[in-house]
Structure 1
Amino acid sequence: MTDLEPVRTYFAGWNARDADAILASLTEDGTYEDPSTGGPISGSALKAYVTGLWSAFPDLRFEEDSLDSTGPNRAASQWVMLGTNTGSMRGLPPTGKSVRVEGSDFFTLRDGKVATVKGYFDGGAVPRQLGLDIIVQPSQIGPFKFGVSTEVQTGRLDEPVAFSITTLHARNDECVQQVREGSRASLIDMLKMDGFIGATTAVIGHRMVTISAWDSPEASRRVMKEGAHAEVQKGMYDGTLASQGYTSVWTKARMNPLMVRCDGCGKMTRGPDADRKCKSCGEALPDALPFW
């Protein structure tokens, strides 16, 4: 009969949120693996992984459904992971939402400790329960490359007069993550700046682009000198984050009138005048969305 006490000690470390206790429950060469780790991890990598989880879910805990021996020096456990997202996860602000994830771990044991842990669970369960989008798409098909984008709006309906465009090629996946975190902080700074209207960012592989709209070219220059954006720029210019990149400011040459669909007649009409009436049927027009 396999002694299950090492597994109980391992889970006790998790529920105590004690990374050193988890590591102590493993053999010197012990490893942990689950769908999000990209393979077996151990030592400092495992410690960083569990502390990152606790940072995002400070109350994270496991409730055991079952724990059984599956053979000599082997065991399996079914569990439920519970926690509330009150800390930042991957640079995102906390959602305050709770998660419940069912999973199982399979253990090999040696010398009274855990030698390997292989965990299995639905990798999309946490982001879905936090209200995050899960996008499955190819990275490239022929000349087309795919990625993700983010929009930030102030709610202003002004026509943009200037656009700031920053693009860079990050050196590697780790640099992409660093730039994304810096970009989020920069956009938060921009929301506080006079003249800012809105922005759209895109990440396509290692290529990263930010296009922001402003009410004047002068207003757009402020972001280049202040806050988080200046720090990301520093990382681009000194070569720690990017292999190449540029910044630029573009001014408006022409902008056609905003067109709005009338819910009454279904026709597109020029953006709302002061009377906010459809020019075709006279019905009240819906509120206009931000121009950018």
Structure 2
Amino acid sequence: MGQAREVMDRLTAALTTAKDIHAVAECFAEDALAVTPDLGELRGREEIVDYFRQIMAAMPDAAYESVRKLEAGDTAIDEGFYRGRNTGPLELPSGELLPATHKEVRIRGVDLVTVEAGRIVEYRLYYDQLEFLDQLGLLPELPV
């Protein structure tokens, strides 16, 4: 196992098993870049950690089911399912808070990290936002 895989596994454990935001922060370089489907580019450890803090608060019982793990050089890639119950408020990109829906979600996603000197310098997350919102019951009913 290489450095990229070790750091990716530490990040996943910090987010879903240990639920330790300080351990999440330790995974990222101070000037890291993250790209997410909901907020776009996040620059710097502080913005990235705040993003994960909000997710952890919205879904405190979250778990991760791995489907596939890959590593090539300084990059690790994970495909899997993020699942949990939404028991905390969800913060929208506008800053508005949506109350908890108390619904279960199970979303397939892909995470990619690039690691230098033992820390993530670039993080990319891909998941279907419409599927996530639908499972939360936040999409309007479509006419039949």
TM-score range, shorter chain: 0.7 to 0.9
Q: RMSD of the TM alignment (CA)?
A: 2.0
Greater relative contact order, per chain length (Cα 8 Å cut-off, separation 6+): 2
TM-score by length of structure 2 reads 0.82
Aligned amino acid, residue 81 of structure 1: Y
2:68 maps to: 66
Q: Secondary structure of the residue that 2:98 maps to in structure 1?
A: coil
**Residue 93 of structure 1: CA displacement?**
2.5
Higher strand residue share: 2
Preserved contact between residue 127 and residue 134 of structure 1 (Cα < 8 Å) = no
1:118 maps to: 124
**Residue 134 of structure 1: CA displacement?**
5.8
Runs (4+) of structure 1 exceeding 4 A deviation are none
Matches within 5 A, 1:99-248: 99-133=105-139
Preserved contact between residue 30 and residue 44 of structure 2 (Cα < 8 Å) = no
Aligned residues: 134
Q: Which has the larger radius of gyration?
A: 1
Preserved contact between residue 30 and residue 116 of structure 1 (Cα < 8 Å) = yes
Work out whether 1:88 is the aligned partner of 2:89.
yes
Runs of 5+ in structure 1 lacking a partner?
A: 136-292
Q: Secondary structure of the residue that 1:95 maps to in structure 2?
A: coil
Q: Secondary structure of the residue that 1:36 maps to in structure 2?
A: coil
Q: Secondary structure of the residue that 2:29 maps to in structure 1?
A: strand
Q: Secondary structure of the residue that 1:94 maps to in structure 2?
A: coil
1:50 maps to: 52
2:76 maps to: 75
Runs of 5+ in structure 2 lacking a partner?
A: 92-96
Percent sequence identity over aligned pairs: 27
**Cα distance in structure 2, aligned partners of 1:100 and 1:41:** 27
**Cα distance in structure 2, aligned partners of 1:48 and 1:134:** 29
